[in-house]
Every structure is written in structure tokens, then in C-alpha cells.
Structure 1
Amino acid sequence: MANFDAQIRESQEQVAEAQGKIAELTSRIETARQKMADGTDIAVDIENASLEDVHVHTEAMNANIAELIMGLDDVTAAFSKDFDEMRSKTGWESFVGVFSKGKSESLRQERMRTASVDDKLQDLIAKSDVITQLLEGQLAVLNEQKTKVETNLTGTLQERETTVSDLEAVKAEISGMDPTIIALENKIAVEQDAAKRTALETELAAANTRYNELVQQEQVKLAKSQTLERYIDKGKTWIDSLQNQAATQMVLINKLQTDTKQRVVLYDALTKSLKTAQQQDVAHQINEIGVKTDQEAQTAMAAIGSATNARMAEMMEAHEDHMVFAREVLEQKARADERFMRRFEKIVEKHDSNQYGA
């Protein structure tokens, strides 16, 4: 319990730090968008190192939470052992059996009848809920940040589309001016009349001025387009990262929720198994007594045994819906476990090699 609480505190700290790093990187992208609108270069504002730092920290956080989940799986796996111990006689019951077998059996049957696993079940559900709240909080932050970046990115994509369109228009105008300038230069080269030559030179100067203006506009719009492209690439990379992180959170949440349903079913099934075993013990004892009695007693005992079997059949029929539900939950758990193991293959290997918690 203390170890679990310590791991939970560590996970809470990791989640808080991860959320801070995620918000910081999103803020950098938003700041870059503002600088870009002002015409300032954005290369220094969004760095691959920052994104990598978020990934490394998030991976460590998820690995720690995955270990917590596998720890709960280990506890669940020990349930059957606990129930087996319930079926066995306690030291006191065995001691009483030395003097009175009947009293010993009576004590054991009463203990089995009143056996309760609600405390363990509620403890596990509570632990699952604590982890789920961490994951759902992280998922909410991821979705919030993704929405912010997507909003910025949508505006930027539209702006780049306009910029590229303007750039193409400028390039087309520049290409259209080349023949005009060449024609003017050729006319000037062969013109003998001073007045006409002067007019042509004035026209050429104006054309060259316009050409230079267009070239300058081309450079500005090209630089803006490249800046927008860098921003878009970084934004898309960050959105992909946020989506991947969100997918991981949903895998973990799905496994926890499925595990919780499975634990409820498992406890219920084991409890009913325990009660049924106690009933079977009684039936066997009645049958043993019947074997040792005369024919008349055997007939009576057989009737009792038949009634017992009929009662057990009724119980099983009444429990049919539960068993169907149990199968559905087990199928859901198998799918959830498969997704979990695919995402956290290294953690599972570490756990299976008895390095869990190392």
C-alpha cells in the first residue's frame, strides 16, 4: 500500500510536469504565430529539442502508470489463491476437529458462508479510480492543447494559401515584364532620334523600377511562405504528438475500466464458487452417510441429494445472464490487454522477467 501511494505521488508529479511542458510548447507555437504575424523569424521559438524533451518525459510518466496498472493485475491474479485458502480449514478449525469433526465442519461452513471480499474489491476499485483520474486529467489537457494548435494551424494554412497565390501572381507579372524590357532595350539600341530615345529610356527606367519592386515583393512573399511552411510543419508535428499521447492515455483508461469490470465479475464468480463448494461438501457428506445406512436410508438420502442437485441446477440457470456478461467482459479484457501490451511492450517484458519496480 505504501509503495502504491509512493508511486501514485510520483505519477502525479510526473503528470503535472508533463502538463507544464506540453502547455509551454503550445505557448511557444502561439508566440511564434504572433511573431510571424509581425514578420519576425520563428526558427528559435520552436525547437526539436523541446519536443523531444516532452516525449522523453511523457514516456517515463506513462511507463510508471503502466507499472501501477500491472501491479493491480498482480493483486487481482492472487484472488484465486485467497479463495483457495478460504476453502481450507484454519488452524483453530483443525484443532476443534480433533475433538469434534462436526463442530469443525460447522465452523468452516459458517466462515465460508459469511466470507466477504467487498473490502478488497473496493480497495482495488479505489486504486483504479485514482489512476483513471490522473489519466483523464492528462487526456483533457492533451485535447485542450490540440484544439489550440489546430485553431492556429487552420488560420496559418489559409494565410499560406493566400501568400502562395500572391507569390505566383508576382512571379507571373515578373515573367510578363521580361519581354517588355527586352523590347524596350532593343528599340533604344537602334533608335537614332534623341527625343524618342529619351522617351524610350524613361519608359525603360519605369519598367525596371516596377520590375525591381516586383522582385523585392517576390523575395518578401517567398520568405513569408517559407516561414509559414516551417510553422505549419512544426504545428503538424506537435498535433501528431498530442494525438499519439492522447491515444496512449485512452489505451490506459480503457484497460483500467475493463479491468475494473473484470474484477467485479471475478469476485462475484469466486464468491459463488466458494458457496457452491460448501454446498457440495454438504451433499457429499449426506451421500457418504447414505452409503453406510440401510436401503431405506439410502433411498431417503438419494432423494435429498437429488433435491440438492436440482437446487444447484436452478442456481446455475438463474446465473446464466451473469455468465454471459462474464464472457463479454473477459473478451473486452483480452482486447484491452492486447492494446496495452502493444503500447507498453518493454514494461511488460520487464514485469515478466521479475524486474517490476526496478
Structure 2
Amino acid sequence: MADFDAQIRKSQEEVAKAQARISAVTARVEAARAKALAGEPEIDIENATLDDVRQHADLMNANIAELIMGLDDVTAGFSRDFDEMRSKTGWESFVGVFSRGKSESMRQERLRTASIDDKLQDLIAKSDVIVRLLQGQLDLLNDQKTRVEANLGDTLVERETTVAALESVRAEIAGMDPKIIELENRISVEQDAAARTRLETELAELNTRHNALVQDEQVKLAKSQTLERYIEKGKTWVDSLQNQAATQMVLINKLQTDTRQRVVLYDALTKSLKTAQQQDVAHRINEIGVKTDQEAQAAMAAIGTATNQRMAEMMEAHEDQMVFARKVLEQKAKADERFARRFAAIVEKHDKNLYGRE
């Protein structure tokens, strides 16, 4: 499991880097809005930056997906471990030729010191570590998305206001054109110098106002365009955050379902092993038979009673256990299907051992 520890540490580092990049992009989105509202013409959010963050997130999730599949491989090995524990080793069988008691003692000692429980608990603990890692990333993504959406909403309102003001300015400019043309025509035919002077003064004032409105139109147009660019970048970032969050939820669902399935598997395998031990004891007592003393017979009766009681309890609990186990397996199948669909390329490399190939 040392490789898992190293991979988990690597994933933790990658998540930290991803979170730093995501926070940086969100900060740039917020700074861009401030620039847009200040009327600055340029915006410093580039598609390349968003793509870089997305690619890093994909790499991080691919690494975690391979970790999850590695956990699945280790879980599958538990069944083989239990099979080996259920039967005697070659050495134990050899010793049994000379001393059955010694052989059984060796087997019991091996079972007593077996580390299946520790291995499973370690596996579940590692699953929980990865879940917490993914949940932390999901929380950050949702927080960043909320911040960007709030800023985006404010900017959409700001752009609506800016566009409305722009249209108002354009309407005023359009309304001035006939007046300017009229004054120019009147000036061209006016013979009285004083009257011409008044008309020219009025025309100059109109032109001054017209020029101011044209300049205002240009400022508002530039602001509207900047806000529009910011809005598009903001929408792209929100979409990216949503997609990343969806991936995190798929991974979390897979891991949580796998953990429940591992608990069921361990419970089933443990009971299977205990049953095998009980059967071995029962066979040995049966071979002793009626030639044993009363104490052995009493032990047999006690074991028989306990076995019957245990059997009854197992039969009564069997239905609930089967319903729960079936439910967990159904959940796992759904989680595996979602996981395989989203990480098809990784699953194929894992299943076909295609690592290092394009």
C-alpha cells in the first residue's frame, strides 16, 4: 500500500495546485469586472488560462481515478486472501501427516495473526482520505462558482444599464441632426449679419453638444463591449467550474459506494471464514464420537446448541442482509457505470494494461 500513500500525496499536491489556479482565475474574473466598470478597455482573462486550469483539473482527476481503480484491484484480492486463509498451507498439510493437532494449531495461529481486517480498514481509510480530498475540491468549486455567478449577475445588470444609456445617447444624437441641418440651411440664406451671428452661435452650441454626445457614445460603447467580453469569459468559467464539480461528484459517488460495498464484502468473507472454522471443529468432534468422555459429550451438546442458535439467528438475519447487500451492489453498478462513462480512456488503459501508449 506504500504506492497508494505516494499516489495520495501526489494527488493532494495536484489538488492544492488546482485550487490555487482556480482561485487565481476567479480573482482575475473579479478584477476584470472592476476594470470593466472603471471603463478600462482591456480584459486580462484569456481562453488559454481557462484551458490550462481545465487541463490541470483533468490530469488531477485522471490520477485520482487511477487511484480508485487501484483500490478496486486491492479489494478484489481480499477474496483470494480469505480463500488462502480458509484452507491449510502446504506446510500445514505436511505437518498434519505427522501431527494433526500441531497442524491445526499452526493454522489457528496463522488465522489469529492474519491482517485482513487491518488491510481492509487501511483501504477504507485511504478511500475516506480521497473522498475528503475530493469533497474539499468540490466545496471550493461550488464556492468559486457562487462568487463568479454573483459577479456575473451584477455585470449583466450593469451592461443592461450601459446599453440603455447608450441607446439614449444615440437617440439624442439622432434628434439633433435635423436641428443642425435646419440651422445650417437658415445660415446659408440669412442676409442679416446680426441674425446670422445668432444662428452661428446657436449652431456652435449644438455642435459642441453633439460632439460631447458622440464622445459619450464612444465611451459607453467601449464599456458595453468590455462588459460583453467579460460576460462571455465569466460564462465560460462558470461552465468550466460546473463541469469540474460534476466530475468531482462522480468520483465521490463511486468511492462512497465502493466503501459500502467493501464493508459488505468483508462482513461476508469474515462470516464465511468463521463458518469454515466451525465446520472444522465439528468434524473433529464428530470423529471423536462416542468414545470420548462425558466432558467432550457435554462440549458437543453445547456446541450443537450454540450452532443451532447461531444458525437460527443467521437465517433470521439473512433476509435483511441480502436486501442490504443487493441494494449496495445495485448502487455500485450505477456508480461504476457513471465512472466508466466519464473516465472511459483511463478504464481502458487500466483494463488492457496500455500504460505508456498513446
TM-score range relative to shorter protein: 0.7 to 0.9
- The answer on whether the counterparts of 1:113 and 1:275 sit within 8 Å (CA) in structure 2 is no
Aligned to 2:297: none
Measure, in 1, the Cα distance between the counterparts of 2:354 and 2:13.
23
Structure 2 counterpart of 1:75, which letter?
V
Measure, in 2, the Cα distance between the counterparts of 1:266 and 1:24.
44
Can you list the C-alpha shifts for 1:221-262, whole angstroms capped at 9, x where unaligned?
000000111111111111111121122112111111111111
Can you list the C-alpha shifts for 1:174-211, whole angstroms capped at 9, x where unaligned?
12222222232333334444443333333222222222
- The answer on whether the counterparts of 1:128 and 1:256 sit within 8 Å (CA) in structure 2 is yes
Q: CA 1:37 to 1:15, structure 2 compared with 1: closer, same or farther past 3 Å? A: same
Measure, in 1, the Cα distance between the counterparts of 2:356 and 2:97.
45
Aligned to 2:22: 22
Aligned to 1:273: 272
- Worse-superposed segment, 20-29 or 191-200: 191-200
Aligned to 2:196: 197
Aligned to 1:295: none
- The answer on whether the counterparts of 1:283 and 1:308 sit within 8 Å (CA) in structure 2 is no
Measure, in 1, the Cα distance between the counterparts of 2:179 and 2:4.
80
Measure, in 1, the Cα distance between the counterparts of 2:87 and 2:109.
13
Structure 2 counterpart of 1:91, which letter?
G
Equivalences for 1:174-185 in 2 at 5 Å?
174-185=173-184
Measure, in 1, the Cα distance between the counterparts of 2:115 and 2:63.
32
Equivalences for 1:294-333 in 2 at 5 Å?
312=311, 314-333=313-332
Aligned to 1:31: 31
Equivalences for 1:101-112 in 2 at 5 Å?
none
- Identity percentage over the alignment? 78
The unaligned stretches of length 5 or more in structure 2 are 290-302
User: TM-score, normalised on structure 2?
Assistant: 0.84
Structure 2 counterpart of 1:146, which letter?
K
- The answer on whether the counterparts of 1:112 and 1:275 sit within 8 Å (CA) in structure 2 is no
- The answer on whether the counterparts of 1:42 and 1:231 sit within 8 Å (CA) in structure 2 is no
Shift of 1:108: 5.5
Q: Secondary structure at the match of 1:319?
A: helix
Q: CA 1:244 to 1:225, structure 2 compared with 1: closer, same or farther past 3 Å? A: same
> May I ask how many residue pairs the two structures share in their alignment?
345
Q: CA 1:357 to 1:277, structure 2 compared with 1: closer, same or farther past 3 Å? A: farther
Can you list the C-alpha shifts for 1:126-164, whole angstroms capped at 9, x where unaligned?
111221222122222222322332232222222111101
Measure, in 1, the Cα distance between the counterparts of 2:118 and 2:263.
12
Can you list the C-alpha shifts for 1:329-356, whole angstroms capped at 9, x where unaligned?
1111111111211221111111011145
Shift of 1:117: 3.4
Q: Secondary structure at the match of 1:126?
A: helix
Measure, in 2, the Cα distance between the counterparts of 1:325 and 1:311.
20
Aligned to 2:292: none
User: TM-score, normalised on structure 1?
Assistant: 0.84
Aligned to 1:299: none
- Worse-superposed segment, 173-182 or 60-69: 173-182
Measure, in 1, the Cα distance between the counterparts of 2:129 and 2:355.
21
Measure, in 2, the Cα distance between the counterparts of 1:177 and 1:137.
60
Shift of 1:91: 2.9
The unaligned stretches of length 5 or more in structure 1 are 291-303
Over aligned residue pairs, what C-alpha RMSD do you find?
3.1
- Worse-superposed segment, 190-199 or 57-66: 190-199
Aligned to 2:221: 222
Shift of 1:166: 0.4
Measure, in 2, the Cα distance between the counterparts of 1:134 and 1:34.
33
Structure 2 counterpart of 1:260, which letter?
T
Aligned to 1:84: 83
Q: CA 1:5 to 1:308, structure 2 compared with 1: closer, same or farther past 3 Å? A: closer
Measure, in 2, the Cα distance between the counterparts of 1:33 and 1:109.
71
Aligned to 1:153: 152
Q: Secondary structure at the match of 2:204?
A: helix
Q: CA 1:114 to 1:52, structure 2 compared with 1: closer, same or farther past 3 Å? A: closer
Flag the structure with more relative contact order, 1 or 2, with Cα contacts below 8 A and sequence separation at least 6. Answer: 2
Aligned to 1:297: none
Q: Secondary structure at the match of 1:78?
A: helix
